[in-house]
Amino acid sequence: MRWFRRSKGAGAGTPRDGDEAARAALLAVLEREWDRAEEVLARRVRLDSDDVDAYLALARIFRRRGEVGRAIHIHQNLLLRSELPDAVRRRVLAELAADFQKGGFLRRAIASFEEVLAEDKSHRGALQALTRLYRDVRQFEAAIDAERRLARLDGRDASDVEADLWVDVAALARSEGRMGDARRALKKALRRDARCVRAWIALGDVEAERGRTRASLSAWRKVPDLDRRAAVDVYPRLGAALAEADRGEEHERDLAAWASADPEDPGARLALARVLAARGATEDALAELRRLLEGAPDNLEAHGTLGRVLLAEHRDPEGIKAYAELLEVLERSGLLRPRESSR
């Protein structure tokens, strides 16, 4: 094999056995002296070409340094050896798959990890890698199967992870215009985890696109009770759907109830203030905004909305004051500092 560098004085200080080489290489790695680690291991394999562990360690150093081609070459040459025990061959194959993954050859990495699993169905490293790789290539149902197998191996419940993956399945189906498949995938997600916020939001979107307003509202209304932070994205959807159905006052009542139920939730109160301002209830909107800013004085959206409402009512001095306070918040948070030049 010609993939290692021949260094000056290559014969001097050659490790006499594998253990000595491993210790010397480990010390070099701990000191981040990659060239010295490579030199130690290269000398070792020249002395004993049967030392597979030394080859594997050397290949890992190459991969760590981004020299993926050299690592692949080592692993492919090792796989040509007919005398490799099955367990060692699987180990080399898994390392080759990791090389492909590092180099961005995702399909080849998947094929190699799948070959490892064909020989060892409980290979944890291969299953872990495949759950990520299948996501990367948008094979979400394959990722679900790999996640289930990994969860069984670890003895844990993967319902939440599976639900999240079914949402990805639905997103792919929706992007391809397969709305029925998207809806079925989201129902599967919610059977796995009824508290999956992404699934409820996506289900509402799918139902809305299918013209099923009642079903979409039912899905979106689940979100505020599950996750108030995520509900910020749902409030405009609810408002638009209810306004289209000529039920705008219902949205206002819902927002008031959510804001009252959780005074610490700025999202519902901000949404309520915007709805009040839109229907001309300016003083009520301003009261909600000021109440919000009492508890969250650095809320940028609240300051901005306050300024817009005041200026829309031609209350310029108050609006200017509101924007001055917004600038103070931006300054305190460091958002007004100039960006560092990339040069």
Torsion-angle region of residue 215: left (phi > 0), alpha (psi -120 to 50) or beta?
A: alpha
**Tell me, what's the pLDDT at 202?**
97
Q: Both ends of the chain: CA-CA distance in Å?
A: 43
Q: In angstroms, rounded to a whole number, what is the distance separating the alpha carbons of residues 171 and 167?
A: 6
3-state secondary structure of 146: helix
pLDDT tens string 271-286: 999 999 998 999 999 9
The token duo for 303 is: 């300051």
Is 92:75 a contact under the CB 8 Å cutoff? yes
**From the centroid of its chain, how far is CA 147?**
15
Within a 10 A sphere around the Cβ of 109, how many other Cβ atoms?
24
**Tell me, what's the pLDDT at 89?**
93
**Tell me, what's the pLDDT at 132?**
95
**Tell me, what's the pLDDT at 6?**
43
pTM of the model: 0.77
Please identify every stretch of the chain with a pLDDT value under 70, giving residue numbers as ranges.
1-49, 339-343
Report which residue type is found at 60. Answer: R
